[in-house]
Amino acid sequence: MALRGNCEKDGIRCDQAPSVGKGSTSARRFGAMSGGYLAAVMPTMVEPVLPEPRGPISLSVVELLAERAPLRYLTRVETSLADADPTGLDLQLALYLCYELHYRGFAGVDAGWEWNPGLLYLRGRLEDLFLEDIRRAVGEIDPETTALSELDALCVEPVGGNGPSYHLRDEGTWQQMREYFAHRSLYHLKEGDPHAWAIPRLTGQAKASFVAVEFDEFGAGKGARLHQQLFADLMAAAGLDTTYLGYLSEVPAESLAVVNLMSMFGLHRRLRGAAVGHFAATEVTSPPGSKRMVQALERLGAPEECAAFYREHVEADAVHEQVVRTDVVGDLVAREPDLDADVVFGIRAFDVVEERLADHLMASWSAGRSSLRRALD
């Protein structure tokens, strides 16, 4: 199969992509399966470039990744974390870069860094600081609290709620909506991927039902229906960059922490209960929040592709909610009751990082300034 050459666009190196002639057998088969999916996803089929560091910690990671990964010795990563702020941009960006090696990596970065012991050691130190901060924010969990009771409480929508989705529904501007898309692009362009790390750590009905929900997230076998792709369609319709991690350098620490939390939970077997709790919280809170987003987009007269993404989540996640509650969480804690408190922790940790991002957005918009590090064009 012929390959197209590399190209440069906005500082991003486009990977070589298969060139399939319209009349070929492969093209007919591919088109029949996906309705022209290849052309639709091309903007997202890239390896991102390393961003500019935001302090000494992220600088050490960026400089390290610019080198070739050593094969026969342990790299010493000389980085002081004595004054590191676990909620700050420097630490969160450094951690994000470490995690991204397990997803798509970076253009020009040696793939050998993914499992390099020296870098993993540094990542572990960053994770310890981040996890300690989240545990402190969550606080003590009452021994009488169960995962299922926590989910029941999460299902109750507050009267007179507030936050970004309420603001966007009632009075937000189109520019604020576009900013919101940019913040969320770090997750939604890899939607489903961070939670998928939990699959091999589950068994029985919990595993089967978890996979069933993820199957929907991944388009139920249709590439054009991938939720990642639906969000890329949303971004394009909103006049935004659809490139994977296209806004990595523009978002604040709060946006990075949202994705870092689920990556951390997913990549550690000891945190599998928290990973399931986070997954459950995501699915349970999605339908009402997505409904408000649909209402906001309709009020603003946004392109249909934008509303379509959230409409999909109103419908699909309403079904997922009961599956996750009974068949994933219920089965998991029945098999491993010692994980019940961990599931509760994952649910509350989800709320911590989401509230921090919401506070940042609302503070910025209330002050009449952009919520991004650099305002959108």
Where in the sequence is the domain holding 28, given as residue range(s)? 7-47
Domain membership flag for residue 1: no
What are the C-alpha distances in Å from 113 to residues 57, 62, 125, 178? Answer: 17, 12, 17, 34
Assess if residue 320 is contained within a domain.
Answer: yes
- 11 and 128, same domain (yes or no): no
Q: Are residues 95 and 207 in the same domain?
A: no
Number of domains the chain contains: 3
User: Domain end: 137, 170, 187, which one?
Assistant: 137
Cα(30)–Cα(22) distance, integer angstroms: 10
Please identify which residue in the block is written with the tokens 């300690």: 132
Rounded distance, CA 289 to CA 283, Å? 11
Q: Is residue 87 part of a domain?
A: yes
To the nearest 5 percent, what fractions of the chain are helix, strand and coil?
65, 5, 35
CA nearest 253: which of 121, 126, 120, 104? 126
269-283 residue pLDDT tens: 999 999 999 999 999
Rounded to two decimals, the pTM is: 0.88
Which region holds residue 203: left if phi is over 0, alpha if psi is between -120 and 50, else beta? Answer: beta
The answer to whether residues 130 and 264 touch, using CB atoms and an 8 Å cutoff, is: yes
Report d(CA 141, CA 59) in Å as an integer: 37
Count CA atoms closer than 13 A to 187's CA, side-chain side.
Answer: 20
Please determine, for residue 371, whether its predicted confidence score (pLDDT) is greater than 80.
yes
Residue 325: inside a domain: yes
- Judgement on whether residues 40 and 155 belong to the same structural domain of the protein: no
pLDDT value of residue 142: 96
Based on the domain organization, do 229 and 289 belong to the same domain? yes
Please indicate, yes or no, whether residues 112 and 226 belong to a single structural domain of this protein: no
DSSP state of 330: I
Cα–Cα distance measured from residue 69 to residue 115, given in angstroms and rounded to the nearest whole number: 10
pLDDT number for residue 135: 98
Amino acid residing at 310: Y
The CATH number assigned to the domain holding 346 equals 1.20.910.10
**Where on the phi/psi map is residue 221: left (φ > 0), alpha (ψ -120 to 50), or beta?**
left
Residue 21 within any structural domain of the chain: yes
Whether the per-residue pLDDT at 260 is higher than 80: the answer is: yes
Q: Are residues 225 and 246 in the same domain?
A: yes
Q: Extract the tokens encoding 95.
A: 């951690």
Element (H, E) at 205: helix 204-217
DSSP state, 8?
E
- Give a yes or no: residue 337 inside a domain: yes
Within this chain, do residues 118 and 179 fall inside the same structural domain, yes or no? no
| pLDDT tier at 73, thresholds 50, 70, 90 | low
**Amino acid type, 55:** G
Condensed to tens digits (0 to 9), the pLDDT of residues 320-359 reads 888 999 999 999 999 999 999 999 999 999 999 999 999 9
Q: Render 49-69 in DSSP notation, one character per residue.
A: PPPPP-SHHHHHHHHHHTSPP
Q: How confident is the model at residue 2 (pLDDT cuts 50, 70, 90)?
A: very low
Strand partners, 13: 8, 47
* Mean pLDDT to the nearest integer, 77-99: 94
Contact 43, 237 (CB under 8 A): no
Q: Which amino acid is at 320?
A: H
Please list, in sequence order, all residues whose beta carbon lies within 8 angstroms of the beta carbon of residue 50, skipping any fewer than 6 positions away.
62, 65, 66, 97, 106, 107, 108, 109
Residues 115 and 248 in one domain: no
Percentage of the chain surpassing pLDDT 70?
87
CA-CA distance, 162 to 158, in Å (whole number)?
A: 9
Please check whether residue 2 lies inside any domain of the structure.
no
User: End of a domain among 137, 167, 202?
Assistant: 137
Model confidence over 110-160: pLDDT tens digits? 999 999 999 999 999 999 999 999 999 999 999 999 999 999 998 888 778
Same domain, 131 and 221: no
- The set of long-range contacts for 187-191, using a CB threshold of 8 Å and a minimum separation of 24, is 187/258, 187/259, 187/262, 188/227, 188/228, 188/231, 188/309, 189/44, 189/228, 189/231, 189/232, 189/235, 189/242, 189/244, 189/245, 190/103, 190/228, 190/244, 190/259, 191/217, 191/227, 191/228, 191/231
Pull the structure tokens for residue 278.
């986070």
> Does one domain contain both 11 and 113?
no
**Are 330 and 211 part of one and the same domain?**
yes
- Concatenated DSSP letters of 216-238: HHTGGG-GGG-HHHHHHHHHHHT
Does pLDDT of 237 surpass 70? yes
Q: Do the Cβ atoms of 190 and 103 come closer than 8 Å?
A: yes
On whether residue 132 sits in a domain, the answer given is yes
- Specify whether 112 is located in the same domain as 232: no
